[in-house]
Amino acid sequence: MNSSCPLRLVLLGPPGAGKGTQAKALETRYGLRQLSTGDMLRKQIAAGTPLGLKAKAFMDSGALVPDDVMIEMIESEVAKRDAFVLDGFPRTVRQGQVLDELLGRLQKPLSAVVFLEAGRDALLPRLAARWSNPRTGRVYNMTSNPPKIDKIDDEDGGPLVQRPDDRPEVVEQRLSTYAAETAPLVDYYKERGLLVGIDGLCSIDEVTAAIAQALGSSAVTPA
């Protein structure tokens, strides 16, 4: 780990590996702010903004939204916070390089990059069973982690929906996009001594515990 508190983390991993779920767990456990670029984009789409309209076409086809759009979106969020967990950013080596430059300028180096490892065979059924709260981004798995009331969020009672990009044909494309554009970040961060590999196929609590253990004593739980 590069630094002690405050924690600045990146969650890396293929679609369905559990980034959103673990980001929320880390948010609760360490008081970090979850910065989910996917959630930010979905909010723009729901609000019908020009950015949302532009992004939707890329997202619905399983492609990435262009780097410049994403970099602009995340810059101010990162700049105004000391401790955060990035969920879904960076997704290309260029985004990783720009993030390094930005955090260097701000003198806020990353603490670690948590790589949630999961193979394709496990990801397909996970994504098919995924329902989420569009308002908060909270994710459920209808098989392994269902809500107490069918299709209703335990926390705020809001309706759960299936994401349009979790349809099987789009999922295939998202996995290919991940392999081509995002997976190279694993070596990028390994070379920088930041990568922490975690088996993403264990239960939610086991994965959270493994991340906490890997972060070690420098990750202080707020009082």
Among candidate residues 8, 19, 42, 138, the one labeled active-site is: 19
Q: Which stretch binds ligand AMP (CB under 6 A): 75-83, 89-97, 112-120, 149-157?
A: 89-97
108 catalytically annotated: no
Among this protein's residues, is 94 annotated catalytic? no
d(CA 108, CA 20) in angstroms, rounded, equals 23
Could you tell me where the beta strands, DSSP code E, fall in 70-223?
84-87, 112-117, 130-132, 139-141, 195-199
Name the minimum Å distance from CB 217 to ligand AMP: 30
Give the Å distances, CA to CA, from 86 to 24, 35, 145: 11, 5, 23
User: Does position 15 bind ligand AMP by CB under 6 A?
Assistant: yes
Which of 13, 18, 88, 200 touches ligand AMP (CB under 6 A)? 88
Q: Which of 9, 65, 78, 127 binds ligand AMP (CB under 6 A)?
A: 65
Could you say which of 91, 108, 126, 138 is catalytic? 91
Which of 18, 38 has the CB closer to ligand AMP?
Answer: 38
What residue number has its CB nearest to ligand AMP? 38
From CA 65, how far away is CA 193, in angstroms rounded? 28
Smallest separation, CB 105 to ligand AMP (Å):
19
State yes or no: is 135 an active-site residue: no
**C-alpha–C-alpha distance, residues 71 and 96, integer Å:** 10
The closest of 136, 129, 135, 138 to 162, measured between CA atoms, is 129
Instruction: Count Cα atoms within 13 angstroms, Cβ side, for 176.
Output: 9
Paired strand residues for 152: 149, 159
**Stretch of 84-92, 184-192, 195-203, 214-222 lying at the interface with ligand AMP (CB under 6 A):** 84-92
Residue closer to ligand AMP by CB (options 22, 95) is 95
Interface of this chain with ligand AMP, residues 25 to 64, rule: CB under 6 A: 37-38, 41, 58-59, 64
How many C-beta neighbours within 10 Å does residue 86 have? 26
Question: Quick one: 153 or 165, whose CB is closer to ligand AMP?
Answer: 165
- Work out whether 24 is an interface residue with ligand AMP (CB under 6 A): no
Query: What's the token pair of residue 86?
Result: 């990035």
Residue among 26 and 219 whose Cβ is closer to ligand AMP: 26
Quick one: 15 or 200, whose CB is closer to ligand AMP? 15
Strands (E) in the chain, as ranges, are 8-12, 33-36, 84-87, 112-117, 130-132, 139-141, 195-199
Give the residue numbers marked as catalytic.
19, 91, 130, 163, 174
